[in-house]
Amino acid sequence: MKKIILPLSLLLVFYTNYAQTDSEDKLGAWYDIGLNHRIAEKISIETYAQLWLYEVNDNFNFFLFKLGYNYHFNPKLTATIYLGYSDIDVNINMSSSHTYERRITEQIVFKHKINKIPLDHRFRIEHRFFKKLDTKSKTARLRYRLGSKFNLNNTLFIRLHNEILSTPKFTNTLENRFYTGLGINISKSSNIKLGYMNRNTPSKANLHRIQAGIFIKTDFRKNKKLI
């Protein structure tokens, strides 16, 4: 019971804090769907889509689709390469030309435990290629996320993570994303997550987002063993 007090308290604190923010802060939403297809003992293919809205059910902000190739060295260590495409609307108040992005991502995920507390570390390098009207640009971004998952029972779990994002080419471009949410295991191979994300951007914006996602694993090996 003691193990779940802290994550539950953090979840309540962050939802309460949002209610006390300034009225001009919009409550936006991020919606996710992720599919992981295990095709061999060491290999899986991942498909992922994400939609951001400036408001809960309106005002398009961002769409991302990614296709990833995962190599599982062991249950604790996985390397991934993604190819991604995104559509970005950077203006909340008016219709403007969208920015389109092609993205190549290299990723390492490492999992372990400290005093029975599960931890996962995600390291990413992103190569981003933008196009807006007749203008093209490119940049790179480094990302590090530290997370944990606390099982409440066989069905419910709490997910916590914090991620730092940095663009080395420029100064003062750190971004921080904190997430806390409740997960529901629908089956051994699928779950849904409902949570809250606080995003502090390089422009000093403090954004509040609800996040809802569904994540499904499939296994095409002859001797099936879920990840």
Map out the domains of the chain as residue ranges. Answer: 23-172+186-191+206-219
Q: Give pLDDT tens digits for 156-196.
A: 999 999 999 998 765 557 899 999 999 999 999 999 999 99
Q: Is pLDDT of 222 > 80?
A: no
Band (226; pLDDT cuts 50, 70, 90): low
Q: Give pLDDT tens digits for 94-117.
A: 778 999 999 999 999 999 999 999
Contact 165, 143 (CB under 8 A): yes
Phi, psi at 196, each rounded to 5°: -130, 135
Q: Which of 14-18, 33-37, 76-80, 181-185 has the lowest mean pLDDT?
A: 14-18
Q: Which residue has the tokens 């191979």?
A: 189
Model pTM?
0.85
Cβ pair 194, 212 in contact under 8 A: yes
